[in-house]
Structure 1
Amino acid sequence: MKHLFKPEAVKGLWSLLILVLVIKMAWFAVELLWLPTMGVDHSEERGAKPLYYRVKLSPSDAAAPVTKRPVQTAGSIQDIKLLAIYNASDATVVTVEYKRATKVLAKGEAINGFVLEGAGSNYAVFSKDAKTYQINLIVSRKGEESIKSTQPSAASASSADQVEGEVIDAGDHKIVDRSLLDHYAKNMDDIYKNIGIKEIKKGKELEGFSISFIRKGSPFAKLGIQRGDVIKSINGQKIDSYNAAFDVYKNIANINNLTLVIQRGKEEMELEYEVN
């Protein structure tokens, strides 16, 4: 009988298989003893974002600390300058400068978030966020303070009785001597000695002013206005705030004609004046 395989070939094949098995077992033993238990992962680019981890650096490697700049709070009392004061028993009015603009404030009104609470002879008191601030009056170049007060000296009291200029009745209008306006433009105290002005309010809002008294024989008594008249407008400008009233006062020396609208009882009247 003829064999399909030669005995020598079969022996050689068995020898080869045994050798491969021995090598495999030896490699398995090496993996257990020396190689890591996990194989090396193959990293594949997938377009993912890289991860960053905080690393604690030594003092020599650490960056210099960032210095925080102080935050400037808006609304500083130092931005307000006190230019003039009118302080009476029934009214406190100041003139201030803020951002190069002049504004007249009455007690209770605010500027830049600061509310006017009152004033002394040469200072004003403001409040904000339950804190009070005092601003001193600016002294002019001549060293004189710009104070308007209802407590004049004896010299200024006598000047009210020696006002030059007349008011002449011309029928449909009255003629006012310009020297009279010039005097009152420079002597505000004399105005309040001859005429009283009272605030008209609706709740806390100021709506206008009424005349509380007029000194008999004074130039104001000759203007045709009476006690109880409510001043509505002067030369078309509505008088419903101290700011509006002082705007007229500041320009009184440059006025040539004056139109005064008043409310007398239920009647609205228009009074005309010519300045000569």
Structure 2
Amino acid sequence: MRVAASLGILLLVGCGSAPPPAPAHAEQEAIAGAPRAMPEAGASVIRRAMLDEVLEAGLGQFLQRIGTEPDLRDGRFVGFRVVELRDEALFAGLDLAPGDTIVQVNGQGIERPEHAYTVWTGLRVASELTIVVLRGEERRELRFPIVD
């Protein structure tokens, strides 16, 4: 199951700005290593129970695991370009690399921090995680059904 990898993508939606403030205990868990929900090799679904664990750990934890920058083309925001994957295990098995640009998550543009929050909270009831990525000029769509 690619839970951690596909949810790791979600953290990109807020990387252009600071995450919402987290309670002190959440920051300590992030530093100590909160639930990782590592994927099972070869699977392509997200288990609801594992998703809930990851969501409870908070968006801030994910924002610490990847470096991004805004991707501007002709002065227009396109998405967030991946600069660095700081947690290789988190992204193992997912076709994501530095230079890729995350354009949408679950049909939402990701230009503003409130978009990240909307996507993040929407995962509590979503039936699928869909991520649109640009690699150069090639558009890719990654889909991960969320199952009980």
TM-score by length of 1: 0.39
CA distance in 2, matches of 1:93, 1:205: 23
For residues 182 and 221 of structure 1, the distance between their equivalents in structure 2, rounded to whole angstroms, comes to: 20
Residues 1:92 and 2:3 are matched in the alignment: no
State the alpha-carbon separation in 2 of the partners of residues 204 and 211 from structure 1.
Answer: 18
Root mean square deviation of aligned Cα: 2.9
Name stretches of at least 5 consecutive residues in structure 2 with no aligned partner. Answer: 1-15
| Aligned match of 1:247 | 118
Q: Larger Cα Rg: Structure 1 or Structure 2?
A: 1
Matched, 1:231 2:106: no
**Whole-angstrom CA distance in 2 between matches of 1:167 and 1:239:** 28
Q: Does 1:183 align with 2:53?
A: yes
- Distance in 2 between residues matched to 1:213 and 1:224, nearest whole Å: 14
The answer for unaligned runs of 5 or more in structure 1 is 1-89, 95-146
Q: Distance in 1 between matches of 2:110 and 2:19?
A: 15
Report the count of equivalent residues: 128
Specify the code of the residue in structure 1 equivalent to 2:117. Answer: F
TM-superposed deviation, 1:262: 0.6
- Say if 2:140 is the partner of 1:266: no
Deviation at 1:251, TM superposition (A): 1.1
1:16-55 equivalent positions in 2, closer than 5 A: none
Opposite residue 70 of structure 2, the aligned amino acid is: E
Higher relative contact order (CA 8 A, sep 6+): 2
Q: Residues of 2 paired with 1:229 and 1:190: CA distance?
A: 21
**Percent sequence identity over matched residues?**
23
Which residue of 29, 32, 35 corresponds with 1:158?
Answer: 32
Partner of 1:41: none
Structure 1 equivalent of residue 88 of structure 2: 216
